[in-house]
Amino acid sequence: MDQQSVRDRAGRGVRALTRRLLGRAEDQSPAPRRSNPDAVVDCAVYVNGRREPGRPHYADAYAHAQRSRDAFVWLGLHDPGPAVLAAVGRTFGLDELTVEQALADGHRPTVQRHGPVTLLVLRTAGYVEHDELTDTSEVIDTGDVMVLLGDRFAITVRHGAAGALRSVRADIERRPALLAAGPWAVAYAVCARMVDSYLEVAGHVERDLERVEESLFARDRSADIQHIYQLKREVVEFKRAVLPLQAPLRTLLDPGSDGPPRTLQRWFVDVDGRLSRAVDRVAAYDDLLTSIVQSRLAQLAVEQNNDMRKIAAWAAIAATQTGIAGVYGMNFSHMPELGWRYGYAGALTLMAVAALALYRLFRRSGWL
């Protein structure tokens, strides 16, 4: 074999060895890290109530939670699209109906059981700051948040701007003993924050009601019926968010229900007590606004009656002048005082005296 052939065979061997080494290196290189979609606000694994470091992809986090003891994953979503929710549903084993319900907004507060998954729906509420109340003012911004609870996961799906849950996660992460109770601890934290927001919004609405009452019974009576009615519409929307939550929350407290563990029962009882205070306040505001609307309508009726009396009084005064002028404008030959030198001045004087007498009479009776 000549020297050139040896060199060619050696070159081919080196190239083959290089390809094998490169292939082995590629096989041993880590797979590219997956990133969460934009709809994911946060995703974390909690073991014994403490958060594991990092923010993994929700599929990796759920796989890690299933391998670990006393672990679960909390996935937070905000206004997710159909594709994102479908992928989440496949990962966590959610049925089609659950995914459809989580995708839509505007649900009534409720608790539903879908196999091993519990669906808890709550309404969010936030107060919209405004300088003055108008007939188009948005006073309360509402949305909804859904909590999907499984054996190893808690998924929160929020629709709307109100009810952000970042602070909820931060607060409960500082209480690892409570978070160690599992996914139902997330449900408690969300319920507690929603009820606290109801009480906070109720405090702002109460100040708006005080201003409306002051303007309603002030001397200038600047309160407009359209402004009051707009505030009542906003309170009714707030009422629809708060009142229906009582029944689902008490369903969770039923000993026979498949609800939170016993370690969390007293915490949910505390939430129910605060919710009752919020319900009482919102119902009282609604009744008060109904009374304010009726009072304003009564005021308008009185003002219209006063206007009609004023118009009638002035019409009576004008009718007196018309009557006197009509009598002396008939120009009959045999009428008293037609030939009197001071007849014209006398007729004007009679008109003035009659008008003054009627004016004083109507003023004394309150018509003018």
Residue 45 lies in a domain: yes
95 and 188 part of one domain = yes
Work out whether strand 117-127 and strand 71-78 pair parallel, antiparallel, or are unpaired. unpaired
Least trusted range by pLDDT, from 150-159, 175-184, 191-200, 359-368: 359-368
Q: What is the pLDDT of residues 104-160, one digit of tens each?
A: 877 889 898 888 899 999 998 888 887 777 777 778 888 889 999 998 999 999 887
- Return the top range by mean pLDDT from 131-135, 240-244, 298-302, 334-338: 240-244
Q: What is the pLDDT of residues 25-79, one digit of tens each?
A: 344 434 445 667 778 888 999 999 899 988 888 899 999 999 888 899 999 998 8
Residue 97 lies in a domain: yes
Q: Which has more pLDDT, 361 or 44?
A: 44
308 and 179 part of one domain = no
User: What are the CA-CA distances from residue 306 to residues 193, 224, 367 (Å)?
Assistant: 51, 19, 7
174 and 77 part of one domain = yes
Give the range of the structural domain holding residue 117, as residue numbers without chain letter. Answer: 40-301
pLDDT > 90: percent of the chain: 23
142 and 153 part of one domain = yes
**How confident is the model at residue 137, as a pLDDT?**
73
214 and 346 part of one domain = no
**How confident is the model at residue 221, as a pLDDT?**
60
262 and 156 part of one domain = yes
Last residue of a domain, one of 282, 301, 320: 301
Q: How far is residue 37's CA from residue 44's CA, in Å, rounded to a whole number?
A: 14
Quickly state the pLDDT bin for 222 (edges 50, 70, 90): low
Residue 34 lies in a domain: no
65 and 185 part of one domain = yes
Q: Residue 89 maps to which CATH number? A: 3.30.460.20
Q: How far is residue 136's CA from residue 258's CA, in Å, rounded to a whole number?
A: 44
Residue 32 lies in a domain: no
**How confident is the model at residue 220, as a pLDDT?**
64
Section 214-233 average pLDDT: 73
333 and 188 part of one domain = no
pLDDT > 70: percent of the chain: 82
pLDDT score of 17 more than 50:
no
Q: How far is residue 154's CA from residue 92's CA, in Å, rounded to a whole number?
A: 10
User: What are the CA-CA distances from residue 167 to residues 120, 184, 190, 227 (Å)?
Assistant: 20, 17, 10, 34
Residue 178 lies in a domain: yes
Residue 26 lies in a domain: no
Q: What is the pLDDT of residues 233-292, one digit of tens each?
A: 888 888 888 999 988 888 888 876 777 888 888 999 999 999 999 999 989 888 888 888
265 and 359 part of one domain = no
Last residue of a domain, one of 284, 301, 318: 301
Report yes or no on whether pTM surpasses 0.75.
no
What is the number of domains present in the chain?
2
Residue 28 lies in a domain: no
